[in-house]
Amino acid sequence: MNVNRRRLLGALSAGATGLAVAPRTVFAAVAQAPRPALLPLALAALDSHRGEVAHRDVIGIVDFAQRSEEERFQMVDVAGGRLIASHLVAHGRGSDPRNLGLVEHLSNRPGSNASCEGAFVTRELYHGRHGHALRLDGLDAANSLARERGIVIHPATYVSAEMARTQGRVGRSEGCFAVSPLAVGEVLARLAPGRLLFACKSG
Protein backbone atom coordinates (compact mmCIF):
# COMPACT_ATOMS: atom_id res chain seq x y z
CA MET A 1 0.00 0.00 0.00
CA ASN A 2 1.46 3.37 -0.99
CA VAL A 3 1.56 6.14 1.60
CA ASN A 4 2.27 9.86 1.45
CA ARG A 5 6.03 10.09 0.94
CA ARG A 6 6.50 13.34 2.89
CA ARG A 7 4.51 12.00 5.84
CA LEU A 8 6.46 8.74 5.85
CA LEU A 9 9.81 10.51 5.64
CA GLY A 10 8.77 12.74 8.53
CA ALA A 11 7.78 9.76 10.64
CA LEU A 12 11.01 7.94 9.85
CA SER A 13 13.10 11.01 10.61
CA ALA A 14 11.32 11.44 13.94
CA GLY A 15 11.99 7.79 14.72
CA ALA A 16 15.63 8.17 13.82
CA THR A 17 15.92 11.24 16.05
CA GLY A 18 14.44 9.33 18.94
CA LEU A 19 16.82 6.44 18.42
CA ALA A 20 19.77 8.81 18.26
CA VAL A 21 19.47 9.82 21.92
CA ALA A 22 22.59 8.28 23.47
CA PRO A 23 25.57 9.22 25.67
CA ARG A 24 28.28 11.38 24.09
CA THR A 25 30.71 8.48 24.44
CA VAL A 26 28.65 6.44 21.96
CA PHE A 27 28.86 9.18 19.32
CA ALA A 28 32.58 9.58 19.99
CA ALA A 29 33.14 5.86 19.51
CA VAL A 30 31.26 5.89 16.20
CA ALA A 31 33.18 8.93 14.97
CA GLN A 32 36.50 7.26 15.79
CA ALA A 33 35.55 3.88 14.29
CA PRO A 34 37.68 2.64 11.38
CA ARG A 35 36.42 3.22 7.87
CA PRO A 36 34.52 0.28 6.37
CA ALA A 37 36.77 -2.13 4.46
CA LEU A 38 34.54 -1.83 1.41
CA LEU A 39 34.56 1.98 1.34
CA PRO A 40 36.93 2.31 -1.67
CA LEU A 41 34.79 -0.10 -3.71
CA ALA A 42 31.59 1.66 -2.63
CA LEU A 43 32.97 5.07 -3.59
CA ALA A 44 34.06 3.70 -6.97
CA ALA A 45 30.52 2.37 -7.47
CA LEU A 46 29.10 5.76 -6.48
CA ASP A 47 31.21 7.40 -9.16
CA SER A 48 30.43 4.72 -11.75
CA HIS A 49 26.67 5.08 -11.23
CA ARG A 50 26.56 8.84 -10.66
CA GLY A 51 23.85 9.20 -13.30
CA GLU A 52 21.51 6.94 -11.30
CA VAL A 53 22.30 8.11 -7.77
CA ALA A 54 20.77 11.54 -7.13
CA HIS A 55 22.10 12.08 -3.60
CA ARG A 56 25.74 11.51 -2.71
CA ASP A 57 25.79 12.64 0.92
CA VAL A 58 25.28 9.27 2.62
CA ILE A 59 25.83 5.72 1.38
CA GLY A 60 25.08 2.33 2.88
CA ILE A 61 27.63 -0.50 2.81
CA VAL A 62 26.97 -4.17 3.60
CA ASP A 63 29.97 -6.48 3.97
CA PHE A 64 28.76 -10.03 3.42
CA ALA A 65 32.18 -11.40 4.37
CA GLN A 66 31.30 -10.70 7.99
CA ARG A 67 29.11 -12.97 10.10
CA SER A 68 25.49 -11.96 10.61
CA GLU A 69 26.13 -11.48 14.35
CA GLU A 70 28.30 -8.48 13.44
CA GLU A 71 27.04 -4.98 12.67
CA ARG A 72 27.96 -5.26 9.00
CA PHE A 73 25.45 -2.70 7.63
CA GLN A 74 27.32 0.59 7.81
CA MET A 75 26.22 4.07 6.85
CA VAL A 76 28.92 6.50 5.82
CA ASP A 77 29.15 10.28 5.44
CA VAL A 78 30.71 10.48 1.98
CA ALA A 79 32.30 13.92 2.33
CA GLY A 80 34.31 12.94 5.39
CA GLY A 81 34.48 9.18 4.85
CA ARG A 82 33.10 9.01 8.39
CA LEU A 83 31.13 6.11 9.78
CA ILE A 84 27.72 7.39 10.91
CA ALA A 85 26.15 4.20 12.23
CA SER A 86 26.40 0.42 12.09
CA HIS A 87 23.57 -2.10 12.28
CA LEU A 88 22.87 -5.80 12.10
CA VAL A 89 21.44 -7.04 8.80
CA ALA A 90 20.17 -10.41 7.62
CA HIS A 91 21.20 -12.25 4.48
CA GLY A 92 19.10 -14.62 2.41
CA ARG A 93 18.47 -18.21 3.48
CA GLY A 94 19.58 -19.33 0.03
CA SER A 95 22.99 -17.78 0.71
CA ASP A 96 23.34 -19.67 3.99
CA PRO A 97 21.56 -23.03 3.60
CA ARG A 98 23.19 -24.48 6.72
CA ASN A 99 22.09 -21.49 8.83
CA LEU A 100 25.58 -20.81 10.13
CA GLY A 101 25.37 -17.03 10.00
CA LEU A 102 27.77 -16.93 7.06
CA VAL A 103 27.16 -16.06 3.41
CA GLU A 104 28.34 -19.04 1.36
CA HIS A 105 27.21 -17.80 -2.04
CA LEU A 106 25.28 -14.97 -3.68
CA SER A 107 22.72 -15.15 -6.47
CA ASN A 108 20.65 -12.93 -8.72
CA ARG A 109 18.35 -15.79 -9.70
CA PRO A 110 14.61 -15.48 -8.94
CA GLY A 111 13.48 -18.10 -6.45
CA SER A 112 16.97 -18.59 -5.02
CA ASN A 113 16.11 -16.80 -1.74
CA ALA A 114 19.76 -15.70 -1.79
CA SER A 115 21.27 -12.31 -1.26
CA CYS A 116 22.84 -10.55 -4.24
CA GLU A 117 25.72 -8.13 -4.35
CA GLY A 118 26.69 -4.97 -6.17
CA ALA A 119 25.46 -1.38 -6.30
CA PHE A 120 21.81 -0.63 -5.59
CA VAL A 121 19.96 2.68 -5.66
CA THR A 122 17.22 3.25 -3.11
CA ARG A 123 13.84 4.06 -4.62
CA GLU A 124 10.37 4.55 -3.16
CA LEU A 125 9.42 4.26 0.48
CA TYR A 126 6.31 2.20 1.10
CA HIS A 127 4.41 0.34 3.79
CA GLY A 128 4.15 -3.40 3.22
CA ARG A 129 3.62 -6.60 5.14
CA HIS A 130 6.84 -6.05 7.11
CA GLY A 131 6.06 -2.38 7.87
CA HIS A 132 7.96 0.64 6.55
CA ALA A 133 10.31 -0.45 3.78
CA LEU A 134 12.45 0.89 0.94
CA ARG A 135 12.56 -0.53 -2.58
CA LEU A 136 15.86 -1.08 -4.36
CA ASP A 137 16.92 -1.20 -7.98
CA GLY A 138 20.06 -3.15 -8.83
CA LEU A 139 22.58 -1.26 -10.97
CA ASP A 140 24.92 -4.15 -11.82
CA ALA A 141 24.65 -7.45 -13.67
CA ALA A 142 24.97 -9.28 -10.33
CA ASN A 143 21.80 -7.64 -8.94
CA SER A 144 19.88 -6.55 -12.04
CA LEU A 145 16.77 -8.49 -10.97
CA ALA A 146 16.54 -6.98 -7.47
CA ARG A 147 13.22 -5.23 -8.11
CA GLU A 148 11.74 -8.26 -9.88
CA ARG A 149 12.78 -10.41 -6.90
CA GLY A 150 11.37 -7.96 -4.37
CA ILE A 151 14.74 -7.28 -2.73
CA VAL A 152 14.13 -4.39 -0.33
CA ILE A 153 15.23 -2.98 3.00
CA HIS A 154 12.65 -3.87 5.66
CA PRO A 155 12.42 -4.52 9.41
CA ALA A 156 12.29 -8.04 10.83
CA THR A 157 11.96 -9.28 14.40
CA TYR A 158 14.46 -12.06 13.63
CA VAL A 159 17.20 -9.42 13.50
CA SER A 160 18.11 -8.39 17.04
CA ALA A 161 21.14 -7.84 19.24
CA GLU A 162 19.80 -10.43 21.68
CA MET A 163 19.62 -13.12 18.99
CA ALA A 164 23.10 -12.22 17.75
CA ARG A 165 24.45 -12.49 21.29
CA THR A 166 22.76 -15.73 22.29
CA GLN A 167 22.83 -17.63 18.99
CA GLY A 168 25.87 -16.18 17.27
CA ARG A 169 23.79 -15.16 14.27
CA VAL A 170 20.54 -13.44 13.34
CA GLY A 171 17.70 -14.91 11.29
CA ARG A 172 17.69 -15.20 7.52
CA SER A 173 15.58 -13.34 4.96
CA GLU A 174 14.51 -14.38 1.48
CA GLY A 175 17.23 -12.19 0.03
CA CYS A 176 16.18 -8.83 1.48
CA PHE A 177 18.31 -6.54 3.61
CA ALA A 178 16.30 -7.09 6.79
CA VAL A 179 17.25 -4.95 9.79
CA SER A 180 16.04 -4.67 13.37
CA PRO A 181 12.69 -2.89 13.89
CA LEU A 182 14.62 -0.64 16.31
CA ALA A 183 17.04 0.40 13.55
CA VAL A 184 14.77 0.66 10.53
CA GLY A 185 13.72 4.26 11.19
CA GLU A 186 17.29 5.51 11.06
CA VAL A 187 18.27 3.33 8.11
CA LEU A 188 15.32 4.38 5.96
CA ALA A 189 15.59 8.05 6.90
CA ARG A 190 19.29 8.25 6.09
CA LEU A 191 19.10 6.19 2.88
CA ALA A 192 15.79 7.63 1.66
CA PRO A 193 15.23 7.61 -2.12
CA GLY A 194 18.10 8.26 -4.49
CA ARG A 195 21.07 7.01 -2.46
CA LEU A 196 23.57 4.21 -2.94
CA LEU A 197 23.59 0.89 -1.12
CA PHE A 198 26.65 -1.20 -1.90
CA ALA A 199 26.87 -4.87 -0.89
CA CYS A 200 29.78 -7.22 -1.47
CA LYS A 201 31.44 -10.32 -0.07
CA SER A 202 35.01 -9.14 0.30
CA GLY A 203 38.06 -11.31 0.77
| Model confidence pLDDT, tens digit, residues 171-197 | 999 999 999 999 999 999 999 999 999
CATH number at residue 39: 2.40.440.10
Taking the C-alpha atoms of residue 22 and residue 43, their distance in angstroms, rounded to an integer, is 29
pLDDT of residue 202: 78
Taking the C-alpha atoms of residue 69 and residue 159, their distance in angstroms, rounded to an integer, is 9
pLDDT greater than 60 at residue 41: yes
Which residue range(s) make up the domain with 46?
A: 5-200
What distances in angstroms separate CA 42 from CA 11, 153, 195, one per listed residue?
A: 28, 18, 12
pLDDT greater than 80 at residue 6: no
Could you tell me the pTM of the whole model? 0.85
pLDDT of residue 36: 86
Q: How far apart are the first and last CA of the chain?
A: 40
Q: How many domains does the chain divide into?
A: 1
What are the pLDDT digits (tens) for 10-33?
555 444 444 443 444 433 444 455
